[in-house]
Structure 1
Amino acid sequence: MKNIFFLFLLLCSCYISGQTIESLKNQTTWQNFKYDIGSIGGGIGHAFSRPAHWKGKEWLNFAGIATGTAILTLGDDEIDNWTDGIRNDISNDLLEFGGHYARPEGNYGLSSAVYFTGLFIKNEKLRRTGVLMIASTITGGFLQQLSIRILNRARPLTGESANNFDLKFFEKAEGYDSFFSGHTVLSFANAYAIGKQFNNPWVKAGIYTVGMIPGFTRIIISKHWFSDVVFGTVMSILIVESIDKYLDSRYEQKYNENNKKVHWDLTFAPGRIGVKLNFN
């Protein structure tokens, strides 16, 4: 399974390389490296500073995300009970892949490989992709660590309910670090960043599916609730989109010349409340 995945990534890298135009040749590798480090830092700062620029609609959308997540928690216990019945039917290879790929060393190993390949072959698009992946996962990882230390939500494997929180801010409690899923935010941020470069919806779907495997396996082994994984996925998308917009001002290469827009629409109807996400 892992060999197939890395072969797939290699093919994706070759495809990305073939799509790019000739990069600027006036810059040395060291100059490009320093510029890219600045882009990573700038991207992280841009993502963290966005709430300061939010207006009414953005805050309404944030409230919608929070409300939608709260609604999802109502079904967390039932979904966890359902996974008990299918756990033995899930391939060990799939569970192992989900666990290893989404660990920090696996994620940063992948993003570093993408970046340094682009750096040394002087491929700006591949460099930018690596920068986007690194900046996004650092941002997402920091926010996830902050969230679990503030909320201290019980993991399913503790035997507690999905709505059990140990609100001792910044005090680590064993088994109380569930919300939100770090494996999900790391793996899906990388997958979403890679998928943005392709127009073909089937290619995108394949990449996103691989990126969602870690979140799925975390639910199966009772390390996270369903709402932890959904929120981690949403956070990945928002972080990548925010940083990618910033990188538009730093790099000549654009992804498929698409406008990078995420549309959040709140839906209110009799007996229904929801949040709809549309993205390119």
Structure 2
Amino acid sequence: MKKALIKDVDNFFDGRETYARLKVPWKRGAIYYGPPGNGKTISIKAMMHTLYNRKPQVPTLYVKSLVSYAGPQYSVNQIFAQARKFAPCYLIFEDLDTMITPAVRSYFFNEVDGLRNNDGIFMLGSTNHLDELDPGLAKRPSRFDRKWYFPNPNEAQREAYARFWQSKLKDNDDVEFPDELCAAIAKITHGFSFAYMQEAFVASLLALARVAIAGTDDEAMLWAGPANKSAGTALNDIVIERMTIGARSSGGTADDLDKLPLWREIQKQVKTLREEMDEDEQR
């Protein structure tokens, strides 16, 4: 997918003469969509960096909001005016669903489809909610021609992500991270985005660091206050549950894994994050 994303953009900026020979406008649009935390923004940033290093460079216009002293309609006009000025360029609208509201929709469509020349503009929009986009954005050809889906990672991808962290920690003698731990982590993180997986690793390592520096911090949790006061669960019960949670891997190495501080802490953090995910879904 990474190679395809790069090729799509490179082919556009390398293809000016091809577009001219085919008598079609030299403009393109794409949408990155999918649940939050799976690489849309980091892919945008990586592409910006790639285009910056091209010869000649391709500038990026990054739009996060249409708020201005003259109103959002004026902002839309000025954004496309600047894009035409700097073309060929990469024009990004992040969180497209919250930006192109009914108040500015017609202005946006007019800038994209109107009489003015948009040659050299590669327009990219991102959204966590493709289904909430106006059909004129999501389905109309010549505006956003291509859609790229960024899903939650499957088990193999979660294991690969765990191996990424394993490689980062390979020179750390204080953290034991065998290969079988990667598979075990992948199994208990079903439904997690990459962002949630990152949080599980970071929170676990920070917890291990606190213990290494000051000893156990389980007692401090007694005074932290419940995350959800309406849950009706005593804090002592939560602490005991976290302190005694058992390994739930299916690789036949549960006893060995239970001896690893990182595995014990990962399980705690995954449980906490899953509770947060469940609360978000209920809301």
When the two structures are superposed, what TM-score results if normalisation uses the length of structure 1?
Answer: 0.23
Which has a greater percent of helix?
Answer: 1
Larger RCO: 1 or 2 (CA < 8 Å, sep 6+): 1
